Structure 1
Amino acid sequence: MQLHHSIGGTGFPILCLHGHPGSGGCMSVFSEHLSQRFRTIAPDLRGYGKSRVSGTFEMSDHLLDLESLLDRLGIDRTLVLGWSLGGILAMELALRSPWRVTGLILVATAARPRGSHPPISWQDNLFTGLAGVVNWVKPGCRWNIDTLGRRSLFRYLLGRQSPEAYRYIAREATPAYLRTSPTATRALRQALRAGYDRLGELETLTCPALVLAGERDRHITAASSRETAGRLPNAEFYCYPDTAHLLPWEISDRIRADIDRWLDAHPEVLRP
């Protein structure tokens, strides 16, 4: 299918892939900054955002969609930045078409993802709903963060309960959550239930890679991200204290600065 996508800037292309639930808009924390120097492409994956779909599909269909998008845009080689599910798809795209991917920036993701999330109670869901609604009306409200947010599932997604992160949630995460289709959720759950594990293939990916993780990530643990970095032949790994799965929204300036430094140190990932 033809994916809805946003393009910014000019120069070498960087494909920005969002997580679940998510949309291309969730990647604005990266794309708005990177588009000052490069051409950024941020698609809504199949079943997410404005890339609506009817019927079921498999995770492999995402790769067909992304290859079709790159072909339509005339992009032969690209750097790929992926967050969570987007990072998994970034690795899969590199494994499938290694000549097409010049480098990988992997955020809160793993080739063998493992979580440490505790069971979710009805109270968790109740407070998450309440905190989400209040945050939608008044983004970043300190009272909401301290009273409802800290009793909701946001306490596992964020290591730092900051107004900045909650404003990102209101602007990007909540709309993306509401537009994520049940078929997209089903496709991801089926892949995880099958025991997704690509660690054994990572040694074939010789392109430079930057792997970023939040120390307190309960959805994809920092240990599983570190394990992935250890299997990639040319990878650097950073683990940030007091951050969790939404670390780009917690310490956005630090993340962007570290990405800039890595890009400057690896000019080969920006060569056509």
Structure 2
Amino acid sequence: MADGARIVCRIFGGGERALLLLHGNGEDHTCFQKQFAAFSERFRVIAMDSRGHGESSAGSGVTIAKIAEDAAAVLGALGIERASVVGFSDGANAALGLALSHPGMVEKLALAGANLFPAGVKPRFQLPAELEYRALRLCGRSSERLRRRAEIVGLMVEEPRYTPAMLGAISAPTLVLAGDRDLIRPAHTALIAASLPHAKLVTIPRSDHWIFDRQPVRVNREILAFLG
């Protein structure tokens, strides 16, 4: 990337249609390890390590907007003009950013555990992140490693900053997924689905936020049926 960040991705399968996978906060592409086989039977799957995660470097810093731009750059570098995008948690938030900034690149969206703003997260999950972020920012004054960690945690505290009205500009058909015990407030997930012009909401039973790992058979089936 122009700011010096090195973005690493891995490719599975050789289908004519492209499918970009964007993982959540503090993870890497392996959070989709239970999806690679199923998805790559039909798609050319691009699994990206977001900047500051996995094997990708942080460059000038980590924000949701920069992750979205990195995703567009990865697709461009691979010669992919249009792809469907599956995003989990912060990856879902970045997928929304990609659909807003590069609408022509997005065919369909599957968003799991997305939020429009930090208050969409249930307090018992959000408060520990806020406390950790404050401590890391303080300690990061004397430690580059902790400063970088603060940037990652800060994605959950300071971002994203979308509005329901912004989502009205997204024309891509969208599947909105969440666990029935998700850390995202159910009403907030419903707001996301209601704000997208062409959205379908599916709640995965007996599952928390980590539906790709905990309920892979059901999740894979829902996403593949939606993508067609």
TM-score, normalised by the number of residues in structure 1: 0.69
**Does structure 1 conserve the Cα–Cα contact (< 8 Å) formed by 2:86 and 2:111?**
yes
**Does structure 1 conserve the Cα–Cα contact (< 8 Å) formed by 2:26 and 2:152?**
no
2:207 counterpart of 1:243: yes
Q: How does 1:1-272 map to 2 (within 5 A)?
A: 1=1, 2-11=6-15, 12-53=17-58, 56-113=61-118, 114-118=120-124, 120=128, 182-183=147-148, 185-186=150-151, 189=154, 192-193=157-158, 196-218=161-183, 220-264=184-228
Distance 1:106 1:59, change over 3 A: closer
Larger radius of gyration: 1
Q: Which amino acid aligns with 2:180?
A: E
Q: Residues of 2 paired with 1:4 and 1:190: CA distance?
A: 20
Higher mean C-alpha deviation, range 106-115 or range 230-239: 106-115
Distance 1:214 1:57, change over 3 A: closer
Q: Which amino acid aligns with 1:205?
A: I
Using CA pairs under 8 Å that are at least 6 residues apart, name the structure with larger relative contact order, 1 or 2: 1
Instruction: Give, in angstroms, the shift of residue 56 of structure 1.
Output: 3.4
Instruction: Give, in angstroms, the shift of residue 199 of structure 1.
Output: 1.7
**Does structure 2 conserve the Cα–Cα contact (< 8 Å) formed by 1:112 and 1:199?**
no
**Does structure 2 conserve the Cα–Cα contact (< 8 Å) formed by 1:214 and 1:222?**
no
Q: Residues of 1 paired with 2:47 and 2:146: CA distance?
A: 18
**1:101-139 Cα shifts (integer Å, max 9, x gaps):** 01100011122351224255xxxxxxxxxxxxxxxxxxx
Q: Which amino acid aligns with 1:223?
A: A
**1:225-249 Cα shifts (integer Å, max 9, x gaps):** 1110111111100112321111221
Q: Residues of 1 paired with 2:61 and 2:103: CA distance?
A: 28
SS at match of 2:104: coil
**Does structure 2 conserve the Cα–Cα contact (< 8 Å) formed by 1:44 and 1:51?**
yes
Q: Residues of 1 paired with 2:185 and 2:206: CA distance?
A: 13
Q: Structure 2, unaligned stretches of length 5 or more?
A: 129-144
Higher mean C-alpha deviation, range 95-104 or range 186-195: 186-195
**1:207-261 Cα shifts (integer Å, max 9, x gaps):** 110011111112x223211110111111100112321111221111011111122
Task: Determine the structure 2 residue equivalent to 1:160.
Answer: none
Give aligned-pair identity as a percent.
Answer: 29
SS at match of 1:102: strand
Q: Residues of 2 paired with 1:93 and 1:181: CA distance?
A: 28
Q: Which amino acid aligns with 1:226?
A: A
Higher mean C-alpha deviation, range 245-254 or range 189-198: 189-198
Q: Residues of 2 paired with 1:211 and 1:81: CA distance?
A: 10
